[in-house]
Structure 1
Amino acid sequence: MSEQTSRFYEVILDKQYALGDLVESLTLEESLDEIAYRASVNMRLTADFPGIRPGQEIRVSGVPIGGTNMVYLLHPGVVWECENVYGSSDKLAVTIYDSTIYLAKSEDEYLFPAGQTASQRLERYASDWGITLNNFVDTAEVLRKNVYRSQPIYSMIQADLKETARKGGALYRPRMTPNGLELFEIGSAEAVWALEPNGNIESLTQRRTLEGTVTKVKVLGNESDPESATEVLAVEEADTDQFGTLQKVVLDSTLTTVSEAVKAAKGLLSGIQETFSVTSPDVNTIRAGDKVALIGSGMELIVTSVRHELGQPGKMTLELASYDYVKRRYYLDGSI
């Protein structure tokens, strides 16, 4: 980063080494498909460089838009990967994740009784992995008995949060903060940043496609006899005359009644899939799951992924979709 930029951003290694003057580029990336916030740092090496290795503690700080003091942007973080390039000028590329990466990369088995909530189960995962919880919410919806065989911890968390959404609960996402892991409700951040096509947006791409469109849903019950057809609990359809028959078959062990199956089927019906890509000056505190307003469209959209190219000025690229799209794509899709 330039000397001017380094006044607005800092990378601290092992709580003592300030690397800002060595950093040439710094990006932060996050997606609803993944749990961990990721930073990519490219830096030059000097004779007095302290050295860096995977596993070391590291954090990224920056001055938010409209602010004067630095805040943590990625903390607590861990050095995950280092790549040295040696030549006339030695370079180092470092990949950093927040500490939820351990929930994505670690596997285990769990047996959970019926009657627990996703919050209670997340408390168990966090406790077993030594992760502090912060500002923890009650997801309220009671979950069924679950036996999770060997799989990543994050896969279990996703299954718990999907079941919560399918039972009518809110949409939640684990998010690491400097004070610990919290359950963030999608779209609930107090600050809703406005994006204006003729103002702070550099480019705006709107995509509309039938890829992912569902006009007919068939919900199946639990398979009782491998040699017999599975019981059909519900069939719902809409807009087949306009878009044709695009059928989705759902096998969801949490759906045990016809009324539950009908509700789930209707929730998966969808017409044209619409998403947006936005490039604009950077707002470095925007995270995946935040809500933004697209001025002039009357739409409030959810950030499904974000890439911050930090600097003065910085740039960000956002992928955006409606709340209903996010619910279908990330919480109602797939079997659990």
Structure 2
Amino acid sequence: MSYKVIIKDKYDITSLVETLSMKDSLDQIAYQASVRLAVSSKLGLPTIAPGMDIRISGIPFNQKAYHPILDLGVIWEVESSNSGTKRLSMTVYDRMIYLEKSEDEYLLPKDQTASQRLKKYAKDWQIRLGDIPDTKVKLGKAAYRAQTIFSMIFADLKETAKSGGTMYHPRMTSKGLSLFEIGSNNEVVELDRLIDLTQMRTLEGAVTKVKILATSESSGDKEVPSKVLAVEEKGTEELGTLQKMINDDQIKTADAAKKSAKNYLTGIQQTFTITAPDINTIRAGDAVTLSGMKLLVTSASHDLGNPGTMTLELGTADYVRRRYYLE
């Protein structure tokens, strides 16, 4: 097997692995692995239990040396069965699972960036930091009440993208918690050895007209209509009117409203799902090319093996911005 699975930096359980799969998505913050083992009491292994450290390494496509696939991992769940052969099924996450499962409260001042806030979350939760680029966009004041750290991070990153900034996604690497600029991977893989390809085209989620509204102000007991800061439309003649109303208290001017409205306009939604021989380094947020089109990976499932298979869901950069950063 071209993979290594190590528990507590001491016990190599690679020879016991029957199946090994990985799952990553722009909807989640922690990389997830599912591992099934066939075990024997004669092996001298410790009792495998939730909370133990675990590392998964593999040989990347067209390379010869092992590299971390899921580093800084933690065993989250263990299920055992015995029908002649004892088997253990483990669910494993990288350390960002603690940010996904933990809640807190933060009152954050305006003019901080998403980078600055991420550093504070990581410090408070004692998570080592990796590469954190300057996200540059100054954010508004935030009052996060009793919610997960995961939701706070994504609220910061969404506000950054809504304000015209770059799209980022958090990743745990061997260096620590990092911010990855969507589509910035150095090696853009050409998907040309496909097992299966499905293309979906739909008007579900399409927007052909947008109204940006100012924050409503009451006038005593009298109800007053919302002030419209901008109206933009595109494709109404061909596709009909599919209108979206946006009320964002961060938008103060007509110019900002006009720019924001254009981000929401979209016609027919197009996505792709492909199954192909596995390339184990592809993650959610990576750019790939398919038939000459540059697309972004929105989710990636890897069934690791020799060579193994992967299933990728793909969309355009505009689709990713609207689906994950503007909603």
TM-score range, shorter chain: over 0.9
Matched, 1:329 2:295: no
Let me know the Cα RMSD of the aligned residues: 1.2
Distance 1:300 1:168 in 2: 21
Residue type at the aligned position of 2:285:
G
| Residue equivalent to 1:261 | 257
Residue type at the aligned position of 1:34:
Q
Distance 1:263 1:269 in 2: 11
Matched, 1:218 2:211: yes
Helix, strand or coil: the match of 1:284? coil
Tell me the alpha carbon deviations over residues 290-335 of structure 1, each in whole angstroms, 9 at most, x when there is no partner: 010113xx310101000010001210001011111111111112xx
Displacement, 1:231? Answer: 2.7
| Residue equivalent to 1:70 | 66
Distance 1:126 1:230 in 2: 40
Give the TM-score taking structure 2 as reference length.
Answer: 0.96
Displacement, 1:217? Answer: 1.3
Match of 2:8 among 14, 30, 33: 14
Distance 1:41 1:73 in 2: 14
Displacement, 1:235? Answer: 2.1
Distance 1:20 1:281 in 2: 21
List runs of 5+ in structure 1 lacking aligned partners: none
Match of 2:142 among 139, 142, 146: 146
Which segment is superposed worse, 12-21 or 218-227? 218-227
| Residue equivalent to 1:238 | 234
Distance 2:48 2:225 in 1: 58
Matched, 1:128 2:137: no
List runs of 5+ in structure 2 lacking aligned partners: none
Tell me the alpha carbon deviations over residues 159-205 of structure 1, each in whole angstroms, 9 at most, x when there is no partner: 11111111111111111001111110000010110112xxx111111
Distance 1:23 1:204 in 2: 30
Displacement, 1:230? Answer: 3.0
Helix, strand or coil: the match of 1:156? helix
Match of 1:32 among 19, 26, 29: 26
Matched, 1:55 2:51: yes
Helix, strand or coil: the match of 1:236? strand
Distance 2:70 2:247 in 1: 38
Residue type at the aligned position of 1:209:
T
Matched, 1:320 2:318: no
Residue type at the aligned position of 1:191:
E
Match of 2:188 among 188, 192, 202: 192
Distance 1:287 1:202 in 2: 19
Displacement, 1:27? Answer: 0.3
Helix, strand or coil: the match of 1:39? strand
Tell me the alpha carbon deviations over residues 192-248 of structure 1, each in whole angstroms, 9 at most, x when there is no partner: 10112xxx1111111100111111112222233394433322222221121112121
Match of 1:304 among 298, 305, 318: 298
Helix, strand or coil: the match of 1:326? helix
Identity of aligned residues (%): 53
Match of 1:208 among 177, 201, 211: 201
| Residue equivalent to 2:279 | 283
Tell me the alpha carbon deviations over residues 258-280 of structure 1, each in whole angstroms, 9 at most, x when there is no partner: 21111111110100000011111
Tell me the alpha carbon deviations over residues 27-81 of structure 1, each in whole angstroms, 9 at most, x when there is no partner: 0110001111000001112112422111111111111111111111001001111
Distance 1:195 1:171 in 2: 23
Distance 2:134 2:319 in 1: 24
Matched, 1:180 2:180: no
Helix, strand or coil: the match of 1:304? strand
| Residue equivalent to 1:96 | 92
Give the TM-score taking structure 1 as reference length.
Answer: 0.93
Residue type at the aligned position of 1:168:
G
Helix, strand or coil: the match of 1:271? coil
Distance 2:296 2:26 in 1: 10
Helix, strand or coil: the match of 1:285? coil
Distance 1:182 1:32 in 2: 15
Match of 1:137 among 133, 152, 165: 133
